[in-house]
């Protein structure tokens, strides 16, 4: 017994190393699962608030760019107003519109933490379950697709960015509506992505827009990027592969919209029922 104690004190560095390394490993394995259900991350009050403070400061530096992009968005929205269309028929009756029901609602949020240079990138935003955000919702910004919500706190949420090795989005060519899958490229360039599994009969053009398809959790037609190379060197899937330049500049991301699909619950419920029946 005494010899054992002497042995342990003599090599205490090694034993301490083993103890702490194993406890860190346990934390790593346990909390780095996909959902990241943990308090050691930036939805935590302390780190979340610190990030929010620093971002308030940072926000001042890019006020001009934000103003410009808001003005541009305003202009394009104004273009869609009814008042900006010429009406050439005289309305006789007031019709209560039952054809259009609101399917998507948008919750605006401010990015308080963002990274682009890791293999798996996450974005933290300043709205959480109190603002009506739930896990699995899509996130877009004026330029295009941003990612999807993976973890929701009371005041903050975490987005799994498009720049993440597990993010795969159902995409389509804007012109011909040919379906494919979009994922981030392997070489960690924040501006490059890969569109794969496009059917061999499709005839994509260089510079053609890639948008979200009807099958994704985003509204159909949100831009993802533009085709920059028709025959990608990356071998993935057995059909056409194309390199894509991502539309969103993730390094400058500030304001995002969380997409709340009002019919998502109904759709998921139906699909779950169908699986049960089979």
Q: Which residues in this chain contact another protein in the complex, by CB under 8 A?
A: 12-14, 16-17, 19-21, 23-32, 36, 38, 40-42, 44, 46-47, 51, 54, 113, 115-119, 122, 124, 158, 186-190
Evaluate whether 174 touches 167 at the Cβ level (below 8 Å).
no
* Residue closer to another protein, measured from CB, 37 or 66: 37
C-alpha span between 129 and 154 (Å, rounded): 5
User: Residue 23 carries which DSSP code?
Assistant: H
* Residue closer to another protein, measured from CB, 192 or 198: 192
CB of 13 to another protein, least distance (A): 5
CB of 198 to another protein, least distance (A): 23
What 3-state DSSP class applies to 186?
coil
CB of 42 to another protein, least distance (A): 6
Tell me which residue of 159, 156, 171 sits closest to 247, measured CA to CA: 171
Indicate left, alpha or beta for 136 from its phi (over 0: left) and psi (-120 to 50: alpha).
Answer: left
Evaluate whether 169 touches 180 at the Cβ level (below 8 Å).
no
What are the distances in angstroms from CA 127 to CA 2, 112, 114, 239? 58, 10, 15, 40
* Residue closer to another protein, measured from CB, 163 or 210: 163
CB of 15 to another protein, least distance (A): 9
* Residue closer to another protein, measured from CB, 23 or 267: 23
- What tokens does 190 get? 């924040």
CB of 21 to another protein, least distance (A): 5
* Residue closer to another protein, measured from CB, 133 or 158: 158
């Amino acid at each position: 017994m005494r010899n054992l104690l002497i042995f342990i004190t003599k090599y205490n560095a090694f034993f301490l190393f083993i103890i702490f390394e194993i406890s860190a490993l346990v934390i790593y394995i346990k909390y780095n699962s996909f959902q990241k259900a943990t308090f050691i991350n930036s939805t935590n009050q302390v780190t979340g608030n610190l990030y929010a403070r620093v971002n308030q400061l940072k926000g001042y530096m890019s006020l001009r760019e934000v103003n410009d992009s808001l003005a541009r968005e305003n202009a394009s929205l104004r273009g869609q107003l009814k008042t900006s269309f010429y009406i050439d028929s005289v309305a006789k009756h007031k019709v209560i519109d039952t054809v259009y029901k609101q399917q998507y609602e948008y919750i605006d949020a401010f990015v308080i933490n963002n990274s682009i240079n890791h293999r798996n990138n996450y974005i933290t935003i300043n709205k959480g379950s109190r603002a009506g955000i739930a896990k699995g919702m899509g996130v877009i910004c004026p330029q295009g697709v941003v990612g999807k919500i993976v973890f929701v706190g009371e005041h903050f949420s975490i987005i799994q960015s498009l720049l993440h090795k597990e993010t795969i989005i159902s995409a389509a060519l804007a012109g011909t509506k040919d379906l494919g899958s979009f994922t981030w490229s392997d070489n960690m360039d924040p501006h490059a992505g890969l569109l794969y599994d496009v059917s061999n009969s499709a005839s994509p053009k260089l510079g053609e827009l890639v948008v979200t398809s009807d099958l994704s959790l985003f509204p159909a037609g949100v831009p993802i990027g533009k085709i920059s190379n028709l025959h990608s060197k990356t071998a993935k899937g057995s059909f056409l592969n194309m390199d894509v330049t991502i539309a969103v500049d993730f390094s400058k991301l500030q304001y995002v919209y969380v997409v709340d699909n009002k019919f998502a619950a109904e759709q998921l419920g139906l699909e779950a029922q169908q699986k049960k029946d089979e």
